[in-house]
Amino acid sequence: MKNIRNFCIIAHIDHGKSTLADRLLEYTKTISARDAQAQLLDNMDLERERGITIKSHAIQMEYKVAGENYIFNLIDTPGHVDFSYEVSRSIAACEGALLIVDASQGIQAQTISNLYLALEHDLHIIPILNKMDLPGAMPEEVKDQIVDLIGCDRDEIIPASGKTGLGVDKIIEAIVERIPAPVGEPDGPLQALIFDSVFNSFRGIIAYFKVLNGEIRKNDKVKFVATGKEYIADEVGTLKLNQEPKSVIKTGDVGYIISGIKEAREVKVGDTITKVDNPGEAIIGFEEVKPMVFAGIYPVDTEDFEELREAMHKLQLNDASIVFEPESSAALGFGFRCGFLGMLHMEIIQERLEREFGMTVITTVPNVSYKAYMTKGKEEIIVNNPSDLPDPSKLDLIEEPYIKANIITKADFVGPVLSLCIQKRGTIVNQSYLTSDRVELVFEMPMGEIVFDFYDKLKTISKGYASFDYHQIGYRQSDLVRMDIRLNGDPVDALSSLIHRSNAYNFGKKICEKLKELLPRQQFEIAIQASIGAKVIARETVKAMRKDVTAKCYGGDISRKRKLLEKQKEGKKRMRQVGSVEIPQSAFMAVLKLD
């Protein structure tokens, strides 16, 4: 155990985490440069394209220093706030962390919040100044930031470059020297922390764990504490480039277990693996991952509902964090109300449905999860869907989730960032200068406000120089309303949204304007109304079609014209009818991207 080093990497997107990790793997001869796919740790296509690690992974390296064999377990962490719980569990499995900071960009919000998490878990931090090869590197300035942040000595910071390989030897040395070996009771009852799981279509769910106490052997009868389920450990092993079966994984080490589990939801990150016949206690810190953002997902073609259901089930097999239940909409037919960890997660699911299952879907206006309390009996109702919102007359009060948001930006952009956050109903709780030019702003704001277009706006107003991170801080009372959209008096359920009263007028106006643009002119006039209850708050009109194009039609026109009219007919077939009005799919999608 004394020669095991468990560590993770904390870095902002694009600060070079994956490239530097690859250098470590090469240096320890875990892989050769030749068979390294660029950035090995990110092995989902989607991850590689987006340049971020969505799901965490782990890999074991062996290295000999001064005649001693060391085992390094690198536990990779996802780089996005949507997956912060998984990050916290990965961190909990480590004794040390490499803090990678881009020498040309400095510390970002994401880095800070993960760093705090690591410090909370008493991880030893090895600060690394990466991308030293870049002409724009400002090592002295960024070193100042790091020293301020973690209170280390200046010379503890290792200059490095994933590209040139600079500093890799120093990092290896620091891992051995500075990161403490894990501690635990080899003879105690088994307690292994699950920090990740992956889906394999042949072997089922493979859980990754770190043994805190005791040991786990092949064919052990094990129990997952939170789910209460028992399995036989069909295979245990360590995570090399490929899985390497072992007969035992001992205290302090990191490994995997295959036990014939078919569904991802049986393996919960943060859960404890123990033995049936000498059970240990649950490791503290387990939480059920709760979806934060909800939206309807509907097949573009109503006939594809069953196919969509199957695709969703398959997705859930390897991503237990999505939840869904059937819902139906008068406008869109049958679909699912889905819960996601956040907006990125929602986008990823949408993209995976498209890429892996060829399913194009319509997503409805997303909302967060609200709590409604009834006047009668103070009954609490969870509202994940605009249609769940009880009649206002029977409501005592509604609460909405709040977040604490950390934003780090250049001093120049403090003004615009402040006004954006205030516009989003945020209140500032702290403002501190990290350096003379970099400011950290801390806000409390409703989570519902970041669901729409917060990231995009923040990026725009800060010209890309703002990083953002948040965590939930509980529920607060809110003046929430349901805004409905009516076309010629008929409500279009798929366009309803839950929104704070103060935003309703503006949002309603924008939706009406957008719909006016997107609804094709029909044989009659269409009134578009946004309303709260019976009160109309915005209105637009699409005039009746006065004339269709009736251009010439001679010998050379017939083919083209026929195709045009066929296309028109085809497009109409795919429109959804509400009352007498036909709505193109683009209208349902476009309300997600107003402005």
Partner 1 sequence: MAGIYIHIPFCKKACYYCDFHFSTNWKVKDELIDSLEKELELQKSYLNGETIETIYFGGGTPSVLKGEEINRLLDKINKLHHVTKDAEITLEANPDDLDAVKIKEIRQTAINRFSIGIQSFFDEDLQWMNRAHNAGEAKSSIMRAQDAGFENITCDLIYGYPLLTNKKWKENIQTLIDLEIPHISSYSMTVEPQTALATFIRKKQQPAMNEEQSAEQFLMLMAELEKNGFLHYEISNFGKEGWLSKHNSNYWFGKKYLGIGPSAHSFNGESRQWNIANNYKYIDTLANGKVPFEQELLSPIQRLNEYVMTSLRTMWGLDLEKVKNNFGEEYSEELLHTATQFIEKQWVKHEEQKLFLSDTGKLYADHIASELFIG
Q: Which residues are annotated as a binding site for GTP?
A: 14-19, 130-133
Q: Which of 43, 565, 574, 593 binds partner 1 (CB under 8 A)?
A: 565
Size of the site for partner 1 (CB under 8 A): 23
**Known binding-site positions:** 14-19, 130-133
Query: Minimum distance from CB of 575 to partner 1 (Å)?
Result: 13
Question: Which CB sits closer to partner 1, 393 or 523?
Answer: 523
Residue by residue, DSSP assigns 564-577 as HHHHHHHHHHTSEE
Among 360, 375, 502, 568, binds partner 1 (CB under 8 A): 568
Nearer to partner 1, 74 or 519 (CB): 519
- 522-561 binders of partner 1 (CB under 8 A): 523, 545-556, 558-559, 561
Residue with tokens 């309300």: 591
Q: Pick from 355, 562, 574, 593: which binds partner 1 (CB under 8 A)?
A: 562
> Cβ 582 to partner 1, closest distance in Å?
11
The Cα 454–Cα 459 span in angstroms is: 9
Q: For partner 1, which residue of 355, 572, 574, 593 counts as binding (CB under 8 A)? A: 572
User: CB of residue 304 vs partner 1: minimum separation in angstroms?
Assistant: 20
Q: How far is the CB of 586 from partner 1 (least distance, A)?
A: 19
Complex with partner 1: residue 34 or 547, whichever CB lies closer: 547
Rounded CA-CA distance 371/325 in Å is: 19
Our measurement of the distance from residue 51's CA atom to the centroid of its chain's CA atoms, rounded to an integer in Å, reads 14
Those residues whose C-beta lies under 8 Å from the C-beta of residue 273, and which sit 6 or more positions away, are: 190, 191, 192, 194, 207, 209, 216, 222, 223, 224, 225, 257
Adjacent-strand bridge partners of 410: 438
Nearer to partner 1, 221 or 560 (CB): 560
Degrees, nearest 5: CA angle 224-229-233: 65
| Smallest distance, partner 1 to C-beta of residue 560, A | 9
Write down the least CB distance from residue 570 to partner 1, Å: 8
The three-point CA angle 576-581-586 to 5° equals 45
- Secondary structure of 122-146 in the HEC alphabet? CCEEEEEEECCCCCCCCHHHHHHHH
Nearer to partner 1, 151 or 556 (CB): 556
Window contacting partner 1 (CB under 8 A); options: 293-301, 388-396, 491-499, 566-574: 566-574
Strand stretches in 131-234, DSSP E: 158-159, 191-200, 204-213, 216-217, 221-224, 229-232
For residue 123, the minimal CB distance to partner 1 (Å) is 58
Q: How far is CA 315 from the centre of its chain?
A: 15
- x-marked contacts with partner 1 along 495-524 as a string, rule CB under 8 A: ----------------------------x-
Contact between 566 and partner 1 (CB under 8 A)? yes
Q: How far is CA 272 from the centre of its chain?
A: 23
Tokens at 427, concatenated:
């209140």
User: What's the burial of 527, exposed, middle or buried (CB within 10 Å: 0-12/13-18/19+)?
Assistant: middle
Summarize as ranges the residues that interact with partner 1 (CB under 8 A). 523, 545-556, 558-559, 561-562, 564-566, 568-569, 572
